[in-house]
Amino acid sequence: MELIPEIAEWIAKDLAQKIEKISAEHKSLASFLKSCESPMEQKFLTALFDTFPGFPCNWKGEHILCSDFCEPHALGFNLRIYPQRDIKIDVYDVEKQRDYRKYRADFLLKLTRWNHESGQTDIIEELVVEVDGHAYHEKTKAQAKRDRSRDRTMTASGLTIFRFTGSELFNQMDDSVMEIYTYLVNKVAHYSEMNGLKFY
């Protein structure tokens, strides 16, 4: 059976657009990997992308958007994965009364939902994930002390910190990513229960 020329042309055009889109996404994902500071971070980002399927997005900073996260029925939960994200923390200083600290997180995972009642986006969770490589974070006590101090400052500002050692990720990458997944799913379940949302 011969295809009608118009249909054949439409199929060819549609296929070309899809190939172009996949190629653009591939280039964008490659740039995400380049933004990582170590091979372990690249491997971790790849594992995140496998567990949280999404697509590159540039709205409010380059990130991977996992829309309709964790839902059998669309309730509007979104997860955004930012590699190498600058985080500005508002801290209280006795002398200045108010001060800011800026940290760069290996990854920021931001779980949100559009709230139709308030007309605003609810931030359900901001999870900072730090990937500690042997060469940097497990080498000296001074570095470990800085990391703990930084973690306390971020936790006090309302962020949650998951810090994984290089050996932990090398030996149990899938378990580490599933720990994050389970944590975020529980956040969705808690938010849904508190707001009367039902899954179908």
Q: Where are the domains of the chain?
A: 36-194
How large is the average pLDDT for residues 48-64? 80
Between CA 122 and CA 118 the distance in angstroms is: 9
φ, ψ of residue 75 in degrees (nearest 5):
-115, 5
How large is the average pLDDT for residues 44-69? 82
How large is the average pLDDT for residues 168-197? 90
Of 24 and 158, the structure prediction assigns the larger pLDDT to 158
Q: Would the pLDDT of 137 be above 70? A: no
How large is the average pLDDT for residues 178-188? 94
Residue pair 190/182 in contact (Cβ under 8 Å)? The answer is: no
Exposure string of 74-111, with b = 16+ CB inside 10 Å and e = fewer, is ebbbbbbbbbbbebebeeeeeeeeeeeeebebbbbbbb
Q: Would the pLDDT of 14 be above 60? A: yes
Residue 200 confidence class, pLDDT cut points 50, 70, 90: low
How large is the average pLDDT for residues 27-38? 74
The answer to which of 83-92, 108-117, 138-147, 160-169 has the lowest mean pLDDT is 138-147
Residue 199 confidence class, pLDDT cut points 50, 70, 90: low
- Highest mean predicted confidence (pLDDT) among 53-62, 97-106, 131-140: 97-106
How large is the average pLDDT for residues 145-164? 87
Q: Would the pLDDT of 122 be above 70? A: yes
Q: What is the CA radius of gyration of the chain?
A: 21
